[in-house]
Amino acid sequence: MLTRFKLEEHGTTVRTEVVAGVTTFLTMAYITFVNPAILSDAGMDFGAVFVATCLAAAVGTLIMGLYANYPIALAPGMGLNAYFAYGVVGGMGYSWQVALGAVFLSGILFIALSLLPVREWLVNAIPRELKTAVSAGIGFFLAIIAMKNAGLIVDHPATLVTVGDVTSWPVILAGAGFVLMVALDVRRVPGAVIIGILATTALGLALGVSEFRGVVSLPPDPSPTFLQLDIAGAFHVGLIAIVFTFLFVDLFDTAGTLVGVSHRAGLLDAQGRLPRLRQALLADSAATTAGAVFGTSTTTSYIESAAGIKAGGRTGLTAVVVACLFLLCLFFSPLAQTVPAYATAPALLFVACLMARGLTEIDWDDATVYAPAVVTALAMPFTFSIAHGIGIGFITYAGIKLAAGRLADCSPTVLAIAALFLVKFALL
């Protein structure tokens, strides 16, 4: 069994891979608390989503480890779960069953793209500045959700948003949790985010702000979300843009994560390409379709895998260890339900900060580049929609390039996407 990972060839050992797997798991275990909390806002059963989260992460990571032999872990993606709950279900009014159907269809399309050479063409056709702007925009979208969940901001009839009661315990605890997470991360403590969540929860319990529901039990009933996806409903014409958004974000987020993490691990070939890219993308897309069947939003590769790679992980054995730990998590659902919204809010905000750094990669000397990128990033939180933000970004990019006499900078793909979004907005 161990021979398939080629440990000696990669200069690693079983012990190193196990330590790396534990390290990666600790850095991303927060998703088992945060994802059910977000999707339950869409009307989904918390316990069932907890099971779906653990299973989707375990299955996707296991495929990545055994099939692609990469030390990369997968789980339901941050940002896309918020778009699922607050954009598609809460904002557009679709049922969560239909939204799961859209996630499933995006996974099928991702599988098709992974098998066909069109994948590289599509990835290369989208300007880099729009890719980074989408990442930053999702970060801002998460930030506004985080501050809302913490009670730091509330709605206001005149100014849309205003500051909440900053003297309330939830706001104070969320702020303290955020400071703790950042401090631990700066000190390079593995599992900084999960430690921050648990510490904030414990302090809230001690102060009587939240209720303790236990630590260990048998896994919850998965039936409320298992096989509940509505694929037929997802074929509705209005959901085309939603399916595209799930696909678009997952495709570029996955490609960026795979290349970035593999570069840190020294796994790229002499030409800077990623060996077994097709297998890695197939693992990611298969995880998305499986996750939709279990009952969770898009499953994707996690940048937190870099923590395990820093600890020495170089093969799929690291991923297998992570998968096993996610399966073990199935027995900790009471602990997940004990964690309140104000304890997961700082995790959302910290992830938002990490994603916002994509704006540093933009060329700030070219207004035709930075202007549409900033508009894209800002449109997502202010329209409370990742899809609308992407659409506005593509339209702005194409319009500015056209007006500036630099239409040649736009690929036919960008122009086609901009035109499709124009039609979509015109029909709203």
pLDDT by residue (tens digit) across 400-425? 999 998 888 888 878 888 887 888 77
Distance (Å, whole) CA 285 – CA 269: 23
Instruction: Tell me, yes or no, whether 390 lies in a domain.
Output: no
pLDDT by residue (tens digit) across 196-251? 888 998 999 899 888 888 777 888 888 999 988 888 877 775 677 788 778 877 77
29 to each of 49, 274, 365, 381, how far by Cα in Å?
A: 15, 27, 40, 26
pTM for this structure? 0.75
Mean pLDDT confidence for 301-329:
83
pLDDT for position 322: 92
Instruction: Tell me, yes or no, whether 194 lies in a domain.
Output: yes
Mean pLDDT confidence for 303-316:
76
pLDDT for position 60: 92
pLDDT for position 238: 63
Q: Which two tokens stand for residue 194?
A: 């999960």
Is the pLDDT score of 385 beyond 80? Answer: no
Mean pLDDT confidence for 111-131:
72
Instruction: Tell me, yes or no, whether 55 lies in a domain.
Output: yes
Is the pLDDT score of 54 beyond 70? Answer: yes
Domain that holds residue 348: 2-353
pLDDT for position 273: 61
pLDDT for position 327: 93
pLDDT by residue (tens digit) across 171-188? 999 999 999 989 998 998
pLDDT for position 230: 85
Instruction: Tell me, yes or no, whether 405 lies in a domain.
Output: no
Instruction: Tell me, yes or no, whether 149 lies in a domain.
Output: yes
Instruction: Tell me, yes or no, whether 363 lies in a domain.
Output: no
Is there a contact between 110 and 302 (Cβ–Cβ < 8 Å)?
Answer: no
375 to each of 129, 174, 342, 371, how far by Cα in Å?
A: 12, 29, 29, 6
Radius of gyration of the chain (CA): 21
Place of tokens 């509505």: 230
Instruction: Tell me, yes or no, whether 404 lies in a domain.
Output: no
Distance (Å, whole) CA 189 – CA 194: 11
Report the number of distinct structural domains present in the chain: 1
Q: Looking at 82-91, 153-162, 273-282, 390-399, which range is the least confident one?
A: 273-282
Instruction: Tell me, yes or no, whether 380 lies in a domain.
Output: no
pLDDT for position 53: 94
